[in-house]
Amino acid sequence: MKIGNNKVVSLIYELRENDAQGELIQKVEKDHPFVYLFGVGGLLPVFEQNLNGLQPGDTFSFSMKADESYGQRTEEAIIELDKQLFEIDGVIDEELLTIGNQLTMQDHEGNPLEGTVLEVTDDKVIMDFNHPLAGFNLHFSGLVLEVRDASQEEIAHGHVHGPHGHHH
């Protein structure tokens, strides 16, 4: 069976910076493969374009420029926030505001945003809301392990469900 819309795909891969010899960013192995529903818009378009039509046992190797993946880093995504925003019941968890910590916050419409703590002062917190891979050219290489038809429930929900029922 070939990868295409409404197929559940299981694969392993290495993600490296720039090319096949670049610094290793992430490695997904057989004991915990990457499993996703193809064609629902949850992945980078260039990633899906390079996997479309492959079948179990096929290998892949391709690169993406930063503009095709997570874009370039921007200074506008680095924001100074009042430290009081991090108060819970009048108390600030200083461990939470450790430099390098990734925090999930919300924009004005309630959408989740992932940010990294860059700096903490007595009254301000500087956060970087650029995607951690923004500005990087990426290289993926891997192996397709399995392709199956998605269930109607998976298609309706737009994601893969676990082997023992419904998992979110």
| CATH number of the domain to which 88 belongs | 2.40.10.330
- Residue 164's pLDDT band, with cuts at 50, 70 and 90, is very low
Residues 143 and 123 in one domain: no
Q: What pLDDT, in 10s, does the model give residues 1-56? A: 999 999 999 999 999 999 999 999 999 999 999 999 999 888 999 999 999 999 99
How distant, in Å, are the alpha carbons of 37, 53, 150, 151 from that of 147? 10, 10, 9, 12
Q: Is residue 37 domain-shared with residue 79, that is, in the same domain?
A: no
End-to-end CA gap in the chain? 26
pLDDT band at 165 (very low <50, low <70, confident <90, very high): very low
Domain match, 103 and 53 both: no
Q: pLDDT for 34-44, tens place per residue? A: 999 999 888 99
Note the pTM of the prediction, 2 decimals: 0.81
Q: Are residues 146 and 119 in the same domain?
A: no
Q: What is the domain count for the chain?
A: 2
